[in-house]
Amino acid sequence: MVGRHTARTARAALLAVGALVLTAAHTTAGAASPPAAAPLPSPAQALGAGRPDAAVLRALQRDLHLTPSQAMTRLANEAEAGARAGLLRNSLGDHFAGAWLSGTTSALLTVATTRAADAAAIRAQGAEAAVVPASLADLRAVKEKLDAAVTRADGVNTPVRSIDVRTNRVVVQATTRAAAQSLIARAGVAGQRISVRLSEYRPRALADIVGGDPYNIDDTYRCSVGFSVTKGDQKGFATAGHCGERGSTTTGAGDAAQGTFQASTFPGKDMAWVGVTGGWTVTPKVRGQDGATVDVAGSVQALVGASVCRSGSTSGWHCGTIERENATVTYEEGTVNGLTGTTVCGEPGDSGGPYVAGAQAQGVLSGGSGDCTSGGTTFFQPINPLLSDLGLTLVSAAAEETPSAPPASPGPEETPAADAWTAGRVYEAGATVTYGTVRYQCLQAHQSQAGWRPEGTPALWQRL
């Protein structure tokens, strides 16, 4: 296996324009509203899609062939659809089989279920219903068997295993059909809704080229800064794990001493963070086109089909869509689980940099195939698992406080609930919390912020 530092690239930041969240006030029937409550923010307002960065809009127009109006509409639709899909995911439970966006402006949300009786409820939320044989949990179980059966030899010829919610199938990407069938047979999942996608390309970890906002590792390798983060009083940035090992030192612009890798995981996952010295200031910005910067407002996870843009130190700004989630990719150096696949191109020099959906951080570039001249695809390490696993807090642009009252204080003999909502924690879709004395369920995966309190952000939380 090639060493972790072999041919490591400076993979520049990928910036995405994907899901934000739905508009909608959702409260339990009979719950009284405060008499003079201010209007709750729409998803676009709450999560930054209502004021998209000009660089994001320009890149969307160019790469997705949109007019300015279509680009704005697409962002608004994607913001709204995320919460709508979350409401349906929670109500469908074990029958949920995935959700995705389609259409030039992401106007169509489709939600899949294994139970035909759910179709009416799905349509009532303004979504298209797809009744399919396998739930998302069923597909994940099949993929896990494939991943467990992969040998090092398989990794060469079957480098990617993923779930395609749009076809309700597990997809094995292989160089030959025989290689795919051999893996399927050994995993014992023949006939279980598996498709084979033939491709001569194998994803590789992109490295070793200077980019916009690059950094050097041990005076030998280069990668790109991802997102600014903090851990307690320590400031730093998130990046790809294949860029450096714990203890590796980094330098920034002008070869100035910058920091040290505090933690790094690769393979298995592709995540790391660098703690910087006092001479460096963390900001909520990522590098955009022509030297401009884009503010990051949070980390709400985008839907499959949502638009996503990337800023690369080598290849610059490029956009595409989110194609698949929870993909397992076998690189020459080893296998990485839980990646998100996109149609955005990438090149050596772009590694470790950020993907943003609208104003929402999505992840850091892990690897890909092809290039930005003839066309290519990339995979990113999602940001929320990175923040959660490494105990980090994303540095985000100052969000406007939502106009909601503080939660009711516990009585003299009461103590705060053990599952009380907390700012700075990563919540997965479906998680439940207590805010004041009220229970809420999470609609979209995100790291919570002080301005996103459950009662004032129905784009992210559903009152139970």
Residue with the larger pLDDT of the pair 45 and 236:
236
Which position among 138, 208, 270, 350 bears the catalytic label? 270
Q: What are phi and psi of 102, to 5 degrees?
A: -150, 170
Return the structure tokens found at 75.
């962002």
CA–CA separation, 93 and 326 (whole Å): 19
Residue 405 has pLDDT above 60, yes or no: no
CA–CA separation, 81 and 73 (whole Å): 12
Domain membership of residue 86 as a residue range:
66-131
Task: Work out the average pLDDT over 156-172.
Answer: 93
Same domain for 60 and 71, yes or no, is no
In a domain, 341, yes or no: yes
Question: Model confidence over 281-296: pLDDT tens digits?
Answer: 888 988 877 778 888 9
Same domain for 289 and 226, yes or no, is yes
Same domain for 142 and 264, yes or no, is yes
Same domain for 53 and 72, yes or no, is no
Mark whether 389 is an active-site residue.
no
Residue ending a domain, among 81, 111, 131, is 131
In a domain, 325, yes or no: yes
Residue 165: closest CA among 117, 232, 125, 113: 113
CA–CA separation, 316 and 436 (whole Å): 46
pLDDT of 222 reads: 80
CA–CA separation, 177 and 185 (whole Å): 12
Residue 288: closest CA among 45, 57, 28: 57
Q: Across the chain, which distance is largest between two alpha carbons, in Å?
A: 69
Confidence of residue 349 (pLDDT cuts 50, 70, 90): confident
Q: Render the burial of 218-250: b for 16+ CB within 10 Å, e for the rest.
A: eeebbbbbbbbbbbeeebbbbbbbbbbbeebeb
* CA dihedral sign, ordered 111, 114, 119, 121: negative
For the residues of 31-86, what is the DSSP string, one character each? PPPPTTPPPPPPHHHHHTTTS--HHHHHHHHHHTT--HHHHHHHHHHHHHHHHHHH
* Intra-chain end-to-end CA distance of the chain, in Å: 50
In a domain, 41, yes or no: yes
Same domain for 87 and 10, yes or no, is no
Mark whether 270 is an active-site residue.
yes
Residue with the larger pLDDT of the pair 306 and 201:
306
Task: Work out the average pLDDT over 150-159.
Answer: 78
In a domain, 247, yes or no: yes
pLDDT of 152 reads: 67
Residue ending a domain, among 93, 108, 131, is 131
CA–CA separation, 307 and 98 (whole Å): 17
Which position among 63, 95, 208, 242 bears the catalytic label? 242
Residue 338: closest CA among 160, 99, 120, 115: 160
In a domain, 417, yes or no: no
Count of Cβ atoms closer than 10 Å to residue 422 Cβ: 11
Mark whether 313 is an active-site residue.
no
Q: Are 156 and 202 in contact (CB under 8 A)?
A: yes
The predicted model scores a pTM of 0.82
Angle at 443 between CA 438 and CA 444, to 5 degrees: 130
Which position among 182, 351, 396, 404 bears the catalytic label? 351
How many domains does the chain divide into?
A: 2
Confidence of residue 415 (pLDDT cuts 50, 70, 90): low
Same domain for 160 and 286, yes or no, is yes
Same domain for 297 and 391, yes or no, is yes
Same domain for 75 and 216, yes or no, is no
Question: Model confidence over 351-403: pLDDT tens digits?
Answer: 898 999 999 999 999 999 999 998 899 999 999 999 999 999 999 985 433 34
The amino acid sitting at 240 is A
pLDDT of 205 reads: 61
The domain that holds 80 is classified in CATH as: 3.30.300.50
Task: Work out the average pLDDT over 312-332.
Answer: 90
In a domain, 382, yes or no: yes
For the residues of 124-189, what is the DSSP string, one character each? HTT-EEEE-SS-HHHHHHHHHHHHHH--HHHHHH--EEEEETTTTEEEEEESSHHHHHHHHHHHT-
CA–CA separation, 113 and 295 (whole Å): 36
Name the strand (E) or helix (H) holding 463: strand 461-463
Cβ burial, residue 33 (10 Å; 0-12/13-18/19+): exposed
> Length of the chain in residues, anyone?
464
For the residues of 353-387, what is the DSSP string, one character each? -EEEETTEEEEEEEEEEEETTTEEEEEEEEHHHHH
Confidence of residue 38 (pLDDT cuts 50, 70, 90): low
In a domain, 464, yes or no: no
Q: What are phi and psi of 239, to 5 degrees?
A: -160, -170
Name the strand (E) or helix (H) holding 287: strand 285-287
Residue 53 has pLDDT above 60, yes or no: yes
In a domain, 416, yes or no: no
Same domain for 106 and 159, yes or no, is no
Same domain for 126 and 230, yes or no, is no
Return the structure tokens found at 337.
């689980």
Same domain for 178 and 219, yes or no, is yes
Confidence of residue 120 (pLDDT cuts 50, 70, 90): very high
Beta bridge partners of 101: 109
Same domain for 109 and 176, yes or no, is no
Q: What is the mean pLDDT of the chain?
A: 84
Residue ending a domain, among 76, 111, 131, is 131
pLDDT of 82 reads: 93
